[in-house]
Amino acid sequence: MTPSEAKKRITALRAQVAHHDELYYRHAQPEITDFAYDGLKRELADLEARFPQFASAESPTQRVGDDRAQGFVQVAHRQRMLSLDNTYNETELRAFHTRLTKLLGRDDLHYTVEPKIDGLAVSLTYEQGRLARAVTRGDGEKGDDVTANVLTIAALPRELKGGRVPDSVEIRGEIYLTAAQFERLNAERAAAGEELYANPRNTAAGTIKQLDTAEVARRKLSIVLYGLGHCEPAVVRSQTGLHAQLRAWKLPVVERIWQAQGIDAAWAAIGELDQLRRSFAYGTDGAVVKLDDFDQQREAETTAKAPRWAIAYKYKPDTARTRLNAITIQVGKTGILSPVAELEPVLLAGSTIARATLHNEDEIRRKDIRVGDLVEIEKAGEVIPAVLRSFPEERPRGAKEFDLSAAVGGKCPVCGGKIARVEVADEEEQGVAWKCQNYDCRAQRAGRLGFFCSRRALAIDGVGGVVAAKLVELDLVKDPPDLYDVPLETLATLNLGTAEEPRVFGEKNATKVVAAREAARSLPLEKWLYALSVPDVGETTARALGRRHRNFAELTESVLLRAVIRKAEADAERTRINPRARNNPPKDEADRARREKLHAELSAEIAALDAGPLAGMPADIGPVVAASALDFFASTPGKRLLAKLRKLGIDPQGTVATAGVFTGKMLVLTGTLPTLKREEAEQKILAAGGKVSGSVSKKTSYVLAGAEAGSKLDKAQELGVPVIDEAGFLKMLAGG
């Protein structure tokens, strides 16, 4: 791999990992398995190690994911909450041991091995033995105060009894939902015609971030504790001691912890745990191996994000073999045709699996999967099961290669409209796919409506896939905004079942939907823009555009987006006519002179665009996205959508900067700030009239630097750009 290829791949992987981090930590709605995620992260870390010139303190490999949400008070941890390095293989586990023996200069290391609980991390502070606070991990430094929600867990003692109680102690553990409670909740949701929760872990993570404590109590969370943060005075000296002490304080602890003298014993314990883990109340996705002795832990120290004295060995997701009976095709909200495996039902990881995703046609070819094949499927506790591989050697005779277009007779299986091959390249997937070209296809309509109402968009809870499909099927909704025209009574009497077995949506759900859609009216432009499924406009793009336009009217005429497109054109043209291009030298002197002049003009135009409309524009809004957005709002469906919003009196406002202390100033952020999240700092700058840029230049007014600031700080010092810290920044904002 060449450095330039590596750089490209690193950039792509960082975007993907950041995207999945956001889904996992902030939205508790991952789209890929932990195994797939760990694979991406591993590839990124490997490339960063091989090409250290591209390393960055801002890479997701150098940070712990951030779970903080709106609506909670943030509290600093007295001792940082770290993450764990993980591995899926024995060799790396042994390398962990070898590293420690070298580091500590001894080979008689004693480990504990305990379950790795698949929940969400929490830190409980007990002051003088009384439970004072419960805080999520957050970014490791500061988390959300979720005390009220944690207090709904009946089994958690409010007081530590039984002696040796420290004045102040942070006890770390994991919040989870038992399989039994998870099933109860889903049974209730099914009865109410609501979308089912995907898995216990995400449901628990979503629950702890609920602002309604009564709802949290109803969900019945559980907790298990296994770790120590700050402790004053110290009362235990080892992990084994801690486990015993937690037990003595009557705190819920893991079922079992193994003592292991040396890594062979630890490996054996990992095997034993694997046999037992499926019987635990919580999901166990691995084993955590820790140096037992706290003095040795301190000596081994920690890296920026994880301790050197512990490692998580993760079990591979469960797999099963079954027959692929058929491949059916689903049409998504963007019209992409996705193949779905219809399987001979098989029991896997506690549930019966009859369908699995096949991603796309290329993947089916690559894995050589054919209808009739025996296939291996995987289910990783969460998300949709996936088909991993086929067994061609056991293939029934005559099994043909799958041809998606032929399978659907060359037309959309839902609306019968035209389909075409398109390139897909977004944060989630890359490759070629078939796409239904009909914007008014029912499947697309239902997909867009479901998305419009999803938590990440306008959060109109209650309108999940099933309800959305029904509203579209009955022609009550064509475009998402039509939802506003559906009367309460119609919603309440919506039959989600069949004529023989009716299942009514109900008055209570309908009332909730009406309240939520009204609340959504006042959401900002960035949310609405995202919610309307504009081609190529993802969450990040929508945010960037929503902060630079006042409303939809301004966006449809966007000077900024035109500038992005014009700059790309000018840039391409400049490259094409470059008089110094070796592969295209000027024909004669006159041609050279003409091209020199044009080159200079184009350079001046680009510089003017950069200094003018494009100043502070994030690089991720490229000409393709810009053209896509402008084209959409100029198209018939785009115009129709905006007309409907106008008719409804919905005019979402952009969070555009007004004049303030940073008017005309360009700021660059680097490192981790002590209290502000990056996004928050950006918002403050924009709101105070300033602009934010990703790189330091002579035009930068200030560099706002936090902990572990990297090359940007060096550059600022080199160029003499003033550097401010968070305190200085806040003071400037306050007008001081």
Cα 108 from chain centroid? 41
Nearest to ligand IVH of 146, 441 (CB atom): 146
Q: Is 259 a binder of ligand IVH (CB under 6 A)? A: no
Helix axes 90-104, 263-276, angle to 10 degrees: 140
Contact call for residue 82 and ligand IVH (CB under 6 A): yes
- Residue 622 to residues 537, 552, 562, 628, Cα–Cα distance (Å): 11, 20, 11, 10
The residues, any chain, with a CB within 8 Å of residue 116's CB and separated by 6 or more, are 84, 284, 285, 286, 287, 288, 312, 314
CB of 170 to ligand IVH, least distance (A): 12
Binding piece for ligand IVH, criterion CB under 6 A, among 82-90, 292-300, 349-357, 554-562: 82-90
R_g (Cα) of the chain, nearest Å: 28
Chain positions 432 to 491 lying near ligand IVH, rule: CB under 6 A, are none
Side chain identity at residue 581, one-letter code: A
Give 317's DSSP letter. Answer: P
Which helix (H) or strand (E) covers residue 628, if one does? helix 623-634
Nearer to ligand IVH by C-beta: 312 or 625? 312
Between residues 84 and 460, which has the closer beta carbon with respect to ligand IVH? 84
Neighbours of 86 (CB within 10 A): 19
Strands 702-705 and 666-670 come out as: parallel
116 given a catalytic annotation: yes
- The footprint of ligand IVH on this chain (CB under 6 A) covers a number of residues equal to 14
> Is the CB of 25 or the CB of 434 nearer to ligand IVH?
25
Alpha-carbon span 682 to 247, nearest angstrom: 45
Looking at the DSSP bridge assignments, the partners of residue 291 are: 111
Kindly state the smallest distance separating residue 242's Cβ from ligand IVH, in Å: 11
State in angstroms the smallest separation of the CB of 310 from ligand IVH: 5
Examine residue 226 and tell whether it contacts ligand IVH (CB under 6 A): yes
3-state secondary structure of 168: strand
Strands (E), 81-136: 86-87, 110-117, 120-127, 130-136
Amino acid identity of 721?
Answer: V
Is 242 a binding residue for ligand IVH by CB under 6 A? The answer is no
Angle at 693 between CA 605 and CA 141, to 5 degrees: 170
Q: Under a CB-based contact definition with an 8 Å cutoff, are residues 314 and 86 in contact? A: yes
Q: How far is the CB of 132 from ligand IVH (least distance, A)?
A: 21
- Is residue 140 near ligand IVH by the rule CB under 6 A? no
Site for ligand IVH in 149-208 (CB under 6 A): 174
In the complex, minimum distance from the CB of residue 268 to ligand IVH, in angstroms, rounded to a whole number: 18
Query: Binding to ligand IVH by residue 117, rule CB under 6 A?
Result: yes
Nearer to ligand IVH by Cβ, of 227 and 546: the residue is 227
Give me the least distance between CB of 10 and ligand IVH, in Å please: 23
Residue 663 CA to residue 657 CA, distance in Å, equals: 9
Q: Please identify which of the residues 7, 41, 116, 527 carries the catalytic annotation.
A: 116
Q: Which of 138, 200, 227, 385 lies at the binding interface for ligand IVH (CB under 6 A)?
A: 227
671 binds ligand IVH (CB under 6 A): no
For residue 212, count CB atoms less than 10 angstroms from its CB and return exposed for 0-12, middle for 13-18, buried for 19 or more.
exposed
Cross-strand pairs, 314: 286
Angle between helices 559-577 and 623-634 (to 10 degrees): 130
Work out which of 28, 44, 57, 84 binds ligand IVH, going by CB under 6 A.
84
**Does the footprint of ligand IVH cover residue 141 (CB under 6 A)?**
no
Please list every residue from 278 through 317 that binds ligand IVH, using CB under 6 A. Answer: 288, 307, 310, 312
Of the residues 20, 116, 517, 712, which one makes contact with ligand IVH according to CB under 6 A: 116
- Listed ranges 101-109, 110-118, 127-135, 413-421: which one lies at the site for ligand IVH (CB under 6 A): 110-118
The verdict on 142 binding ligand IVH (CB under 6 A) reads no
Is there binding between residue 372 and ligand IVH (CB under 6 A)? no
Helix (H) or strand (E) holding 550: none
CB 103 within 8 A of CB 241: no
Rounded to a whole number of angstroms, the minimum distance from the CB of residue 689 to ligand IVH is 39
**Smaller CB separation from ligand IVH, 58 or 170:** 170
State in angstroms the smallest separation of the CB of 117 from ligand IVH.
Answer: 4
Sorted by sequence, the CB contacts under 8 Å of residue 122 that are 6+ apart come out as: 134, 135, 136, 137, 146, 150, 172, 173, 174, 175, 208, 223
* Residues classed as catalytic: 116
Residues that bind ligand IVH in the complex, under the rule CB under 6 A:
82-84, 114, 116-117, 121, 174, 226-227, 288, 307, 310, 312
